[in-house]
Chains A and B, each alone.
Chain A
Amino acid sequence: MNLDILSFENVTFTYDTEDGTVLPAVAKVSFAIQPGEWVALVGHNGSGKSTIAKLMNGLLFPQEGSVKVMGHTMSEETLWNIRSQMGMVFQNPDNQFVGATVQDDVAFALENNGVPHAEMVERVHEALHQVKMADYKDHEPHHLSGGQKQRVAIAGALAMRPKLLILDEATSMLDPQGRMEVIETIRRLRESTGLTVISITHDLEEAALAGRMIVMNEGHKHVEGAPKDVFKRGDELTGMGLDLPFAMRMTHLLQEAGVGLQEEHMTEDKLVDELWKYYSKA
């Protein structure tokens, strides 16, 4: 009956503050994520998106409402079972690297879940191949770039063969090249395995790649929809401290300057294509 891979139903969470001001970090938030989707959860600092990340993996439990993962309501009893079915990649590439070498790190979750040795070797190998890091299996973390470390972290999650992968600001500390590597890896994985991905980010450039966007503002769900539609609310998003993708801002500026572009472009490639066409017509 319940097909959602993850759902929030009227979730409210308030942090205790010392000065007594009670401001819910997350207020009555509901959304559902279907298998195979790529959903971007965006919002500025303090919008409640990191609290949502913590609610997703059971580091926090909602005070009101419920969080369901694959039909199970998140609670102390179901927590470990749920965690074994979802992978999560965090912001800082260094602070989530547990193993002494790449393969040790990938095996960490498998060790924790008591997977037998022979199967473990096979799964580590497979996961490293999926992120194209198999050649680095004996490398130590300090010899890897940020992007490579994040790919190892993704492999560590994949080794558990999860149904859901959550990227919690996973690209925000990377250089442009590392960011491309990670995004490319996710895109490829989705094509080959149909993995469900939730990326929590404040980077709308990255969010534009998702199939659906959920915009958070001050603890509330502000708007939800396809990136194309969400971006139409240009000024509204900028008002919440979010930066529109470069291609979109460029399109707007060109239109203002009297260049007759027909469409809103979310990627640079498409903008460049239309500019070529425009140029050859003129």
Chain B
Amino acid sequence: MMEKMIFGRFIPGDSLVHRLDPRAKILFVFLFIGIVFVANNAIGYALLLGFTLLIVFLSKIRLYFLINGLKPIFILLIFTFLLHLFFTREGDLLFSFWIIEIYEEGLRQGIFISIRFLVLVFMTSILTLTTSPISITDGIEILLGPFKKIKLPVHELALMMSISLRFIPTLMDETGKIIKAQMARGSDIGSGPMKERIKAVVPLLIPLFVSAFKRAEDLATAMEVRGYRGGEGRTRFRQLDWRLADTLSFVLLAGLTAVLWYFRT
């Protein structure tokens, strides 16, 4: 299941959405999350759904791939839908059987909340699917730039993020090696009752921790020797480039907001 899970993954590509500035995409998604709550009727939610599908289309990510990858999320979605369906007791009674009673308002709420949820998950997934982690980090660093004034260590946070991302595959490899090494010594991982399985994780974690600390120390030395002295007086190799398409994406978003507001009841 984890292999198919696309939440937080990046799919390289060359679509209109891929090429947008990461700052634009992050801001866009944040604003969109707010705008979703403007919709309060069928037309509004239909518009939101249509808009999201348009963005999916523009990102050239196949809808089937997106839906398939977000399957675990759908369990949550269905659960929320059912919760609303059964427990809202407003409007006309539509259906009644034994202790189950479904009201009109429940059905409406269920559908609306599901669409809202779906739209939010799709949008945030498209952000991570079309933007490399390192670009997201760059974008966050610049967007948080103003907070340096209140002594928020923005550069350090961004560096921490990018180094963590950089070391994920390295530590995954290492975990694989440790698992094999422990299995070669006869340890049994991944079977037996829960308690045994949790116990079996300890001999994996400890060597992993030890080596992670060793790596951190080496890395700190290497960084220092290469002249790292914090964010002060540093220049950036990666330059972000705000183009017309980025500005236009916000015009589009403003248009959506206006239309949603117009149809709001």
Q: Which residues of A contact B (CB under 8 A)?
A: 57, 59, 80, 83-84, 88, 90, 92, 94-101, 103-104, 107-117, 120-121, 124, 140-142, 156-157, 160
Contacts and interface: CB of A to CB of B under 8 A. Distances in A.
Interface string B147-178: 00000000000000011011001100100000
A108 B226 contact: yes
B235 A110 contact: yes
Interface of B: 132-134, 162-163, 165-166, 169-170, 173, 214-215, 218-219, 221-229, 233-239
Given A111-B234, A117-B237, A120-B235, A90 B134 contact: no
Contacts of B229: 80, 112
B169 A140 contact: yes
Contacts of A124: 237
B224 A59 contact: yes
B170 A141 contact: yes
Contacts of A97: 166
B227 A80 contact: yes
A103 B219 contact: no
A97 B167 CA distance: 9
Contacts of B237: 103-104, 107, 110-111, 117, 120-121, 124
A114 B234 CA distance: 5
Contacts of A84: 227
Dominant SS among interface residues on chain A: helix
B238 A94 contact: no
Contact of B222 (A95, A113, A160): A95
A88 B226 CA distance: 8
Given A90-B222, A112-B228, A156-B226, A98 B234 contact: no
A90 B218 contact: yes
B221 A98 contact: no
B169 A142 contact: yes
A115 B225 contact: no
A83 B227 contact: yes
**Interface hub of B170, B218, B222, B225 (most chain A Cβ within 10 A):** B225
B218 A100 contact: no
Given A140-B169, A142-B173, A96 B219 contact: yes
Contacts of A111: 234-237
A141 B166 contact: yes
Nearest to A105: B166
A125 to B, nearest CB: 12
A110 to B, nearest CB: 7
B235 A100 contact: no
A100 B165 contact: yes
A92 to B, nearest CB: 6
Contacts of B132: 100
A185 to B, nearest CB: 18
Instruction: Indicate the member of A88, A98, A120, A141 with the most B CB atoms within 10 Å.
Output: A98
Given A83-B224, A88-B222, A124-B237, 19 more contacts: A90-B221, A90-B222, A94-B215, A95-B215, A95-B218, A95-B222, A100-B132, A100-B133, A100-B134, A100-B166, A101-B134, A104-B237, A110-B235, A111-B237, A112-B228, A112-B234, A115-B235, A117-B239, A160-B227
